[in-house]
Amino acid sequence: MLKSLCLALALAGAGITGAAAAEVPKGSLVIIGGGLRAENAAVWEKIVALAGGRGARIAVFATAAENPTREGGMAVANLNRHGAQAFLVPLAPRLAGSDVRRAADDPAIVDVVRGAGGAFFTGGDQARITGSLRRPDGSNSAVLDALWAMYRRGGVIAGTSAGAAIMSSTMFYDPPLDVIPILKHGVVDGKDIAPGLGFIGDDVFIDQHLLVRGRFARMLPAMLSKGYKLGLGIDENTAAVVGPNREVTVIGYTGALVLDLFEATTNKTQPVFNLSNARISYVDNGDRFHLVNRTYVPGPGKEPVDRNMREYREALFYTDILGNTSVVNLLEKLVDSNLERATGLAFEGPTSRSPERGFEFSFSRAPDSKEFVTNREDAWSIYRIRMDVRPVKMQQPLYTVE
């Protein structure tokens, strides 16, 4: 009874009440940031366990893949290696001899998907997933309804890369490969962003390949455009496991970033992107985060950072905050210092349309910031660091050859 009351309170806090609360899924999500390796047993085993354990039937959707037979076959093999009875769903635009529209409403496919304990979406192009599982008029196909029925009943829906992007109600669709153009020019509906499948709900924006590609910055204009206050970006070979109580546990190789815009502001008189008083958190392997009350719990072996043992004393300044894992590296150095502020820059190359225009990212401790680390100082948990972003200009040419 107490558990049910706590869940009801959490749903009310998320704005989910009445008939909608009755439809809240009893299942879980395993959202993987891409690059999931065959040897990452922790993630594969979690998917199988949430689908029902050994012998669980898991429907594999290689719908996004360029080569669905190969990609789907590898996913089936990896799941079966960890005890599942996975099977490939023949529903993919690139699958030879298949008719996606017919497959998406095929009663035989609908029945096996609805009866499965879970589903797994491979990587590729997320537009192929949404374009296949929704009809041209935007309504759900019968297979998508079956996925929702399975998830509401208690099954697990997992996805990597493109399979992660579809988890939120808005997803990146066909954005530029570089992050800076989105910061400079914003996002365009139907081009850069489009509707996802929304398994995680309407209140959390999801992105993937986060740390290795510096994508945390592109989430910000998309979130502001659609009114999201909370963003969850997952790194490669890492999963965010979202339980039915809306608690997220991170497992895998690295971690995830949480972007919190509940208290953030933007100066709309400026024509260029800017942001003040946002919060950025790094949630490490083993850490937990609650999507409703926005509380963090560090993983096993984590202790508060000893203020008397901080290492860095010099000013912290990165010239490429969008580089591979740069943002987390800078945050780690900030919390391992007596400094109150760290700065990172983001610029395009000299051949871009406006190479002199860029952005300054400022990170600083806030009254509610928290920092934890293992005694080996190789695993950090960094919560609620203030982040401000402002447009800046760099004098050109940056250098001359004599």
Q: Where are the domains of the chain?
A: 25-290, 306-371+384-393
Q: Do 46 and 18 meet the contact criterion of CB atoms below 8 Å apart?
A: no
Residue 44 has a pLDDT of 98
Q: Do 242 and 28 meet the contact criterion of CB atoms below 8 Å apart?
A: yes
> Does the pLDDT at position 10 exceed 60?
no
Task: For residues 389 and 362, give the distance between their C-alpha atoms in angstroms, rounded to a whole number.
Answer: 6
Q: What average pLDDT does the segment 232-239 reach?
A: 97
Q: What is the pLDDT of residues 167-181, one digit of tens each?
A: 999 999 999 989 999
Band of pLDDT at residue 28, cut at 50, 70 and 90:
very high
Q: Do 16 and 24 meet the contact criterion of CB atoms below 8 Å apart?
A: yes
- pLDDT > 90: what percent of the chain? 83
Mean pLDDT of all residues belonging to the chain? 92
Q: What is the pLDDT of residues 156-168, one digit of tens each?
A: 999 999 999 999 9
Band of pLDDT at residue 209, cut at 50, 70 and 90:
very high
Model-level pTM? 0.92
Q: What average pLDDT does the segment 365-384 reach?
A: 90
Handedness of CA 221, 257, 177, 205 (dihedral sign): negative
Q: Does CATH number 3.50.30.10 belong to domain 25-290? A: no
**DSSP 8-state secondary structure symbol assigned to residue 1:** -
Least trusted range by pLDDT, from 132-141, 265-274, 306-315 = 306-315
> Can you name the residues that pair with 238 across neighbouring β-strands?
252
Query: Between these two residues, 309 and 388, which has the higher pLDDT value?
Result: 388
- pLDDT > 70: what percent of the chain? 93
